[in-house]
Chain A
Amino acid sequence: MLHAFDTVIVGSGGSGLYAALEAGRQSRTAVLSKLYPIRSHTGAAQGGISAALGNVEEDRPEWHAFDTVKGGDYLVDQQAARTMAEEAIQAVYDLEHWGLPFNRTADGRIDQRRFGGHTRNFGEAPVRRACYAADRTGHMILQTLYQQCIKNQVAFFDEFQVIDLILDQNQCSGVVAVELATGAIHSFAAKAVLFATGGFGRLFKVTSNAHANTGDGPAICARRGIPLEDMEFYQFHPTGIKGLGILISEAVRGEGGILRNRSGERFMERYSPNLVDLAPRDIVARSIMTELRAGNGIRGDRRIDDYVHLDATHLGAETLRTKLPDITSFCRTYLGIDPALAPIPVLPTAHYAMGGIPTDIHGRVLGDARGTVVDGLYAVGECACVSVHGANRLGTNSLLDLVVFGRRAGRHIAAYVKDAPPPRLGADAAAQASAWIARLTDGKPGPHGGHLADRMQTLMMQQVGIYRNAAAMRQALEGLRELHGRYRDVRVQDRSRAFNTDLLELIELGNLLDLSLITASAALTREESRGAHSREDFPDRDDVNWLKHSLAYLEQEQVRMDAKPVDVSVWEPKPRTY
């Protein structure tokens, strides 16, 4: 089936919905989402959205931008970070005007709290910058944007899984999707396509991410020859529920929660004398792993599934009730404990991709190291790399990224499609996508995907996780290539067309396998430690050789690495201490 729109938006989380609102005002816009839109993973974000409103203490966008750059270990493009910090303020007010129910100060303004790495006056001390709605800020943003989409009658195609991009000589002209309800293949011709497909935490065994977070947008782009940027930088959030990986918001520490080892020691004092428990996530996650390796975990057996305690018992029932209610509920449901009475057993959990589809600050996709714009193709949110998060994202900056750059991309698209040429789809536009599905469903015997997914997630978790070294990653790459080979033989067990979730999961597995190769290759290539990328064999940051963004091209099953410069036009890179 063929559809034609001016604008097609793939993904209905925060950035996709915001872009749809903006683009939809002036162009015929469709949102394609593999879930019902309100189920997107933006809704799982908890702690807050940062903006230097200064509602509870002095704050400035300049400080916010600097913290973002330093938090990202100077791999952030600095003008982009400034843009984000400056536009944060109006973005938060706009959300409030649309009804977002922020917690309030005593004088009825938006309340703000502390978060990791956010400081006043270029690192002096923590600052209250995170605007929040209890510990459901992402849920509220998703709801608010979806409500506005209903009000503005945005057109949705629910449960349509996009599987290919129509790209010809640097001109994007649409996408190909499978409709879950029928199994039918649909081609969408469009002058502009925006990928807002979110993250890919399902690369790893233990993750805070939804099952749906399989990196569909980046994988599709990579297969179509677009490089992916900074894919070696993957954030592990320090505090996931032990075993399950369910996120326990940094807001617990923002409100005063303390990480403790088996002797009850507040060990972050040794690693970050200034910010202590509110150091950036890469530092806290590494500190926890170091404690476990030293036998200071709660069991003390030095095993990788040992854990530490997040102590919120001193915060009081009232703070937990009004500011951290979902966390309290998660602890009761999944651990059977009340965080007011008992510490929470936590371990780092795979959480956020700093890297992704390279874009400029308008969301336009950049197709090479020279910054050539791919006409009509946009990306925004976690699947994109602007880059405002560099080597390590600060908490609350992801929700901010969604709304600031979602809006910017939507506005740019609205202007672009006015003069853009009408899309031309060749008769064979859906050929490659159809061939993929035909192979998966051709009825030949073949292995199912379950074991492949399991093996990939284990390899990535154990060998391309928080601490990395060349030997382990080479071994992982070998394993991942073997899984790629086996994927060619995989077949569905479900032979129906309608609601064939088996087929969609195999497509998602294909996407994850491609991204695992790229991530592991990029990580092996970067011979330094920076932000979330920690090489045991190269423990120091190396600005002389590695102050640059990586670009990874997927060529068959090989990954070719290239690089491009970082914008360091505002602040000179310095050693990063907290």
Chain B
Amino acid sequence: MQVTLKIRRYNPETDDQPYYQDYLVEVDPNERLLDALMEVKRFQDGSLAFRKSCAHGVCGSDAMRINGRDGLACKTLIKDVATEDKATVVLEPLRHLPVQRDLIVDQSEFFRKYREVKPFLIADAPPAAGEFIQSQEQRLRFDDATNCILCASCYSACPMFDEHPEFLGPAALVQAFRFLADSRDRGLDQRLPVLDRPDGVWRCQNHFQCTLACPRSILITKRINETKRMVQKRRDEQGEPTHPNE
């Protein structure tokens, strides 16, 4: 079948404004959207800029907006977004991050916020021999949060950034949860200052857009709510209020 990729393009060296360009490509409906992009790049227009790597939904390079929804081009099949011959698929860069060129966005802010939550195990000294003991039940408690590939689809989908660009965002909060819910971790107090503030965990208002967008099927909103309860519980133990407001 044929599809038209309608791609939002922008080159800071030559363009004042972003614009849309159409590419007609011959594709198999079972192919990935990334395959169609590669077809354009290899055989039609080498100047089209997008990121890619693993091509099967595990590295997070090719997150973009596809017909207005955030996701991975390599985990989206043509038939999922183009139901009839000559259909048009609109591709745009992720929202809430500065566009560097075409479908490429600057992810520095996204990763800065990720680093803020101290995304590493903060544990007691490890046992002298062997591993920390952890039951499979304890391990499953944070299982889905470990699936995050930091693709930033959720960051684009979350409506809270429109008004609150300083919000930590869904991915960073999921990473915080991944450690807070790990029976080996002792890092709640170290992470409290960044989580318990208006632009921390409390900014989330349960729009569920992150959960819907996540290509790794992480129950992001649920994990953020669990994190809120951990923060609340810790403040209760300290006899202190939480800090949801400016």
Contacts and interface: CB of A to CB of B under 8 A. Distances in A.
Interface of A: 35-36, 38-41, 43-44, 93, 96-99, 101-111, 133-134, 136, 139-140, 143, 147-148, 150-151, 181, 210-212, 244, 246-247, 322, 326, 329-330, 333-334, 448-451, 453-454, 492-502, 505
Interface string B134-167: 1110111011001101100000000000000000
Interface of B: 11-14, 30, 32, 41-43, 45-47, 49-61, 75, 77, 100-102, 104, 107, 111, 115, 118-121, 123, 126, 130-136, 138-140, 142-143, 146-147, 149-150, 179, 182, 184-185, 217
Contact of A44 (B11, B58, B118): B58
Contact of B120 (A98, A106, A108): A98
A139 B58 contact: yes
Given A101-B182, A150-B120, A502-B47, A43 B132 contact: no
Which 6 A-B residue pairings sit nearest by Cβ, starting from the closest?
A99-B121, A450-B42, A493-B46, A494-B47, A97-B126, A147-B120
Contact of B47 (A108, A496, A497): A496
B131 A93 contact: yes
A211 B123 contact: no
Nearest to B46: A493
A502 B46 contact: yes
Contacts of A454: 42
Contacts of B61: 35-36, 39
B177 to A, nearest CB: 13
Contacts of A35: 51, 53, 59, 61
7 contacts: A36-B107, A41-B53, A97-B123, A97-B126, A99-B121, A105-B136, A494-B46
Given A450-B42, A498-B101, A109 B130 contact: yes
Contacts of B51: 35, 501
Given A108-B135, A147-B121, A210-B54, A136 B147 contact: yes
A168 B32 CA distance: 46
B55 to A, nearest CB: 6
A104 B58 contact: no
Contact of A212 (B43, B53, B217): B53
Contacts of A134: 143
Residue with the highest number of chain A CB atoms closer than 10 Å, among B47, B57, B59, B140 = B59
A495 B45 CA distance: 12
Nearest to A94: B126
B52 A211 contact: yes
Given A39-B53, A44-B56, A499-B49, A104 B139 contact: yes
B175 to A, nearest CB: 9
Contact of A43 (B12, B43, B149): B149
A134 B56 CA distance: 17
A133 B134 CA distance: 13
B19 to A, nearest CB: 15
Given A43-B149, A496-B11, A97 B132 contact: yes
Residue with the highest number of chain B CB atoms closer than 10 Å, among A36, A140, A247, A322 = A36
A109 B131 contact: yes
Contacts of A246: 55-56
B204 to A, nearest CB: 23
Residue with the highest number of chain A CB atoms closer than 10 Å, among B30, B102, B130, B185 = B130
Contacts of A322: 140
B60 A39 contact: yes
Contacts of A492: 46
Contact of B55 (A136, A211, A498): A211
Contact of B136 (A97, A103, A148, A450): A103
Nearest to A151: B120
A344 B102 CA distance: 37
Contacts of B115: 150
A211 B119 CA distance: 28
A149 to B, nearest CB: 9
A109 B127 CA distance: 12
Contacts of A40: 59
B121 A109 contact: no
A140 B46 contact: no
Contact of A143 (B46, B50, B56, B146): B146
A99 B182 contact: yes
Contact of B12 (A326, A448, A498): A498
A498 B13 contact: yes
Contact of B184 (A99, A181, A330, A497): A99
Contact of B59 (A44, A133, A501): A44
Contact of A497 (B13, B50, B107, B130): B13
B182 to A, nearest CB: 7
Contacts of B133: 107-109
Contacts of B14: 496
A112 B61 CA distance: 31
A255 to B, nearest CB: 16
A499 B100 contact: yes
Given A43-B149, A139-B149, A496-B13, A96 B53 contact: no
Contacts of A148: 120
Residue with the highest number of chain B CB atoms closer than 10 Å, among A111, A148, A151 = A151
A210 B50 contact: no
Given A36-B107, A104-B139, A139-B58, A210 B43 contact: no
A386 B101 CA distance: 41
A142 to B, nearest CB: 9
A148 B104 CA distance: 27
Nearest to A139: B58
A497 B14 CA distance: 11
A87 to B, nearest CB: 15
B149 A38 contact: yes
Contact of A104 (B46, B102, B136, B185): B136
